């Protein structure tokens, strides 16, 4: 996805994947800075650890409490500019600037892939881990009317509900299942990644017939058993590929300061993930 986007923007960059042990994260970031990398993406389990390791944090990283994108910037005429804007042999102080592009990608994908705005919506969120908590908070910022937060470990759903209550008092939160029809169900649990996983929601707790749309953050397989059931119950459905695409596109925009070639990146994702 990134290399296809980079090529379409005519940039002479390469995007590489490296395995880094959490104990080595600070030295990996320092090494990338010393080698004048343009930037980095971070994934599990580095996103929270990196908060303490960036020289400066964007509001997105502060608000969502995680860093998934770093941009290296160089000091020029008293201000900071992305490092790719200056010749490679330029000498100067470099800083790491941490961003979060994951959170916006959740609501962007729901908006574009399910054509749902979320304002005034009643939403059931399954899972209150890293992804579930951010999805709940994002739905709250977009003006959801009611949120039902369900998690295997109930205390985590209660913590997320308490956070929403204090940050977004206009949103009603529950930690039990809805009794009436709802607009959207989001699966933010890892259930569905493995073929023998149980469903993230049982019919006896809440019937899919009572939901308008279902969003599954899992994108491999393209249609989880949960999404198949939702489709056959008449729900509009989308998987998490859009989340992956939009967080990556936003990162490329931060590094390049150019609009991301979304269609090229989407095609590369579909080809690499589903062989389409």
Token pair recorded at residue 178: 């809805």
> Using CA atoms, how far apart are residues 1 and 18, in angstroms rounded to an integer?
16
C-alpha to C-alpha distances, 132 to 102, 158, 173, 224, nearest whole angstrom: 12, 12, 14, 18
Q: Per CB under 6 A, does 189 bind ligand ATR?
A: yes
> How would you write 117-141 as a 3-class SS string?
CCCCCEEEEECCCHHHHHHHHHHHH
Q: Per CB under 6 A, does 191 bind ligand ATR?
A: yes
Q: Per CB under 6 A, does 152 bind ligand ATR?
A: yes
Q: Per CB under 6 A, does 65 bind ligand ATR?
A: no
Q: Per CB under 6 A, does 130 bind ligand ATR?
A: yes
Question: Judged by CB under 6 A, which of 128, 184, 185, 260 binds ligand ATR?
Answer: 128
CB 147 within 8 A of CB 176: no
Q: Which helix (H) or strand (E) holds 4?
A: helix 2-8
Q: Per CB under 6 A, does 175 bind ligand ATR?
A: no
Q: Which of 187, 214, 174 is nearest to 126 (CA)?
A: 187
Q: Per CB under 6 A, does 240 bind ligand ATR?
A: no
Residue 189 or 256 having the CB closest to ligand ATR: 189
Give me the least distance between CB of 134 and ligand ATR, in Å please: 8
By annotation, the residues acting in catalysis are 47
Give me the least distance between CB of 206 and ligand ATR, in Å please: 15
Question: Judged by CB under 6 A, which of 3, 63, 190, 210 binds ligand ATR?
Answer: 190
Question: Judged by CB under 6 A, which of 5, 132, 178, 248 binds ligand ATR?
Answer: 132
Q: Per CB under 6 A, does 129 bind ligand ATR?
A: yes
CA max distance for the chain:
64
Q: List b or e across 207-245, with b for residues whose CB sees 16 or more CB atoms inside 10 angstroms.
A: ebeebbbbbbbbbebeebbbbebbeeeebbbbbbbbbbb
- State how beta strands 94-99 and 146-150 pair: unpaired
HSE (CB half, 13 Å, CA atoms) of 224? Answer: 30
Which residue's structure tokens are 């389990």?
A: 45
Residue 173 or 256 having the CB closest to ligand ATR: 173
- The piece of 25-33, 85-93, 105-113, 187-195 that touches ligand ATR (CB under 6 A) is 187-195
Which residues pair with residue 126 across a beta bridge? 150, 187
Token pair recorded at residue 196: 């023998």
Question: Judged by CB under 6 A, which of 2, 60, 68, 151 binds ligand ATR?
Answer: 151
Give me the least distance between CB of 43 and ligand ATR, in Å please: 10
Q: Per CB under 6 A, does 156 bind ligand ATR?
A: yes
- The piece of 112-120, 136-144, 145-153, 253-261 that touches ligand ATR (CB under 6 A) is 145-153
Give me the least distance between CB of 47 and ligand ATR, in Å please: 8
Instruction: Report which residue's Cβ sits closest to ligand ATR.
Output: 129
Positions that interact with ligand ATR (CB under 6 A): 127-132, 151-153, 156, 188-191
């Amino acid at each position: 996805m990134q290399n296809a986007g980079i090529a379409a923007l005519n940039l002479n960059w390469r995007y590489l994947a490296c395995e880094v042990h959490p104990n080595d994260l600070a030295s990996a970031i320092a090494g990338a800075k010393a080698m004048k990398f343009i930037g980095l993406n971070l994934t599990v389990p580095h996103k929270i650890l990196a908060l303490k390791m960036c020289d400066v944090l964007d509001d997105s990283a502060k608000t969502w409490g995680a860093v998934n994108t770093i941009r290296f910037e160089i000091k020029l005429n008293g201000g900071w500019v992305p490092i790719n804007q200056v010749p490679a042999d330029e000498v100067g102080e470099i800083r790491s600037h941490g961003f979060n592009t994951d959170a916006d990608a959740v609501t962007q994908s729901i908006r574009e892939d399910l054509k749902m705005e979320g304002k005034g919506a009643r939403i059931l969120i399954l899972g209150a881990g890293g992804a579930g908590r951010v999805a709940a908070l994002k739905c709250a910022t977009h003006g959801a009317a009611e949120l039902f937060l369900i998690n295997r470990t109930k205390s985590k759903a209660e913590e997320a509900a308490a956070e929403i209550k204090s940050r977004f008092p206009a949103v009603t939160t529950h930690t039990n299942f809805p009794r009436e029809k709802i607009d959207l169900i989001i699966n933010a649990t890892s259930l569905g990644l493995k073929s023998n996983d149980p469903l993230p929601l049982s019919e006896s707790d809440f019937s899919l017939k009572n939901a308008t749309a279902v969003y599954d953050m899992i994108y491999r397989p393209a249609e989880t058993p949960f999404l198949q059931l939702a489709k056959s119950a008449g729900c509009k459905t989308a998987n998490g590929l859009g989340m992956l695409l939009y967080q990556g596109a936003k990162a490329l925009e931060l590094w390049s300061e150019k609009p991301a070639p979304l269609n090229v990146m989407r095609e590369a994702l579909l080809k690499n993930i589903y062989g389409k």
